[in-house]
Chains A and B, each alone.
Chain A
Amino acid sequence: DAKTTQPPSMDCAEGRAANLPCNHSTISGNEYVYWYRQIHSQGPQYIIHGLKNNETNEMASLIITEDRKSSTLILPHATLRDTAVYYCIVRSGSNDYKLSFGAGTTVTVRA
């Protein structure tokens, strides 16, 4: 799986959008970008994934650059409950079962 690079930490004001960057310059054509988050003392939670098109669900939006070498996770209206470690993961399709987590980005939402 391609390696990802994320900033170690970032702060965000409550109610504002949080934009979390991820670099994956060695991504290959059949690899998807996944985002998970882990709130303190809980297991990781799936957020969203995409291949090349931008994706949106009830939790977040995922913007993938045209060359697919980077992506941005957008939390549109951050709340205090969004404080967590966010992991950007690249993996291939259905036959690739394991998730390779890096250190992630620690996001702190401040009131």
Chain B
Amino acid sequence: DTGVSQDPRHKITKRGQNVTFRCDPISEHNRLYWYRQTLGQGPEFLTYFQNEAQLEKSRLLSDRFSAERPKGSFSTLEIQRTEQGDSAMYLCASSPRAERTYNEQFFGPGTRLTVL
């Protein structure tokens, strides 16, 4: 399967613990995105990478959140000192370099985080 993969698929943690999620984009996609989705809502943009450069961070991404894409391939999203409000589905997407006037984003299956 050459789609976007995310690991783990599910994570249950206690409040105050740190968690890290991994996203492997489609090979050679230079753009990578993180979104968060809470129950009954559409996904909300968190951050965006072009190659290894993090080009934008949403105001939703508090200081407890950090994302990296060290070699321009896979990415990690870390949440420190988790809170119950962090419980959500964390979605990763990737897209190729836009050579036309649009770019389709390919989403992974998501990591569902539950903070107890």
Contacts and interface: CB of A to CB of B under 8 A. Distances in A.
A51 B100 CA distance: 13
A12 to B, nearest CB: 20
Contacts of B40: 103
Interface in A71-90: 85, 87
Given A43-B110, A98-B33, A98-B48, A103 B105 contact: no
Interface string B75-106: 00000000000000001010100101111111
Nearest to B42: A101
Contact of B93 (A43, A49, A93): A43
A93 B102 contact: yes
Interface of A is mostly: loop
B41 interface: yes
A97 B43 contact: no
B107 interface: yes
B42 A103 contact: yes
Interface in A45-88: 45-46, 49, 51, 85, 87
Contacts of A41: 109
Contact of B106 (A46, A87, A97, A104): A46
Interface of A: 32, 34, 41-46, 49, 51, 85, 87, 93-94, 97-104
Interface of B: 4, 31, 33, 35, 40-45, 48, 55-56, 91, 93, 95, 98, 100-110
